Structure 1
C-alpha cells in the first residue's frame, strides 16, 4: 500500500473555515454528520479537525491539494451551515494531524489537543498573518464547551 505521507510529489493543502450551523440541525444530526465526516475523511487520507460549539462549526482540513479544494467546494454548498468564512487556504509541507478528528463540542483527547497545538505552532511561524485568527477561534471553541 502506498503511504501518501512519504510521497514527495504530493501537493499538500490546508484550508480552515468557520460557519454558522443551520438552526434546524439537531444534536443527533450533528453527531451523524461528525461520524460520517470522520470516517469519510480518514478513508480519503484527509487529516484535520471539525468542532461544533454554540451554533458554529470550525474546521481545519489537510490533504492532497485537489482533493481539499474539491471537498471545500462541496462544503460551501452544504445546507447544514451558512455564512462560511474561509480563514486560510495555503500549501503545506506535511500534515499536522495524524488523522481526521471530529468532536461535538471540543477536543477531549490529549493526542488531539497536542496535534492542534503543533498545528498552531506551525501556523505561528509559517503563517503569522493567519495565526492570530486561527488561535483565537480554536481557543473560543475549546472554551465554549
Structure 2
C-alpha cells in the first residue's frame, strides 16, 4: 500500500486593504477566511494593521498555490507583495488564526514566535524582513 507524502508549502505576503471595506465587511472576511482555511487544513495567520494585511499560509503545496492565486485576484486588496514561497517540512501553526484582535487574550503568539525562530534558522536572508514586518503588524518594538 502506497501512502502519499504531503508536500508542505508556506507563502507569506503583504497587501493594501481596499479603503472602501467597512469594519463589518472586514470582520466577515476574517471569519470566512478562518473557517475556510481551518476546514481545508491550512494553518497560518492573517494580520491587519493600518490599512494593510500580512498573511502567512501553510499547507499542502497544491492548496497553498491555488489559494494564493485566488488571493492575488481578490479585489478587497491590492499591491500584493509576496515575501516568500517555499517548501517546509512541518507547519509552525496548529490552526489558522485570523481576527482583528489576533494578539489579544484569546491568542498566544507563541506559534508566531516559533515561526520567526524557524525563519532565523532556515531562511536567514528573509528573517530580518519578515521579523520587522511582523513586529510592525503586532505593534511591537
TM-score (structure 1 length as normaliser)? 0.90
Unaligned runs of 5+ in 1: 1-6
Query: Which residue, out of 52, 57, 63, partners 1:56?
Result: 52
Report how far residue 112 of structure 1 moved.
3.6
| Structure 2 residue runs without a partner (length 5+) | none
For the Cα contact (< 8 Å) 1:53–1:106, is it kept in 2? no
Matched residue, 2:11: 15
Q: 1:127 to 1:65 in 2, by over 3 A?
A: same
Q: How far apart are residue 111 of structure 1 and its match?
A: 5.2
Residue pair 1:48, 1:99 contacting (<8 A) in 2 also: yes
Structure 1 or 2: larger helix share? 1
Name the Cα RMSD after superposition.
Answer: 1.6
Structure 1 stretches of 4+ with a deviation exceeding 4 A read none
1:101 and 1:112 in contact (8 A); partners too:
no
Q: Cα gap change, 1:112/1:15 in structure 2, threshold over 3 Å: closer, same or farther?
A: farther
Q: Which of 90, 94, 97 is 2:90 aligned to?
A: 94
**3-state DSSP of counterpart to 1:85:** strand
Give the equivalent residue in structure 1 for 2:138. 142
- Distance in 2 between residues matched to 1:8 and 1:57, nearest whole Å: 34
Match of 2:41 in 1: 45
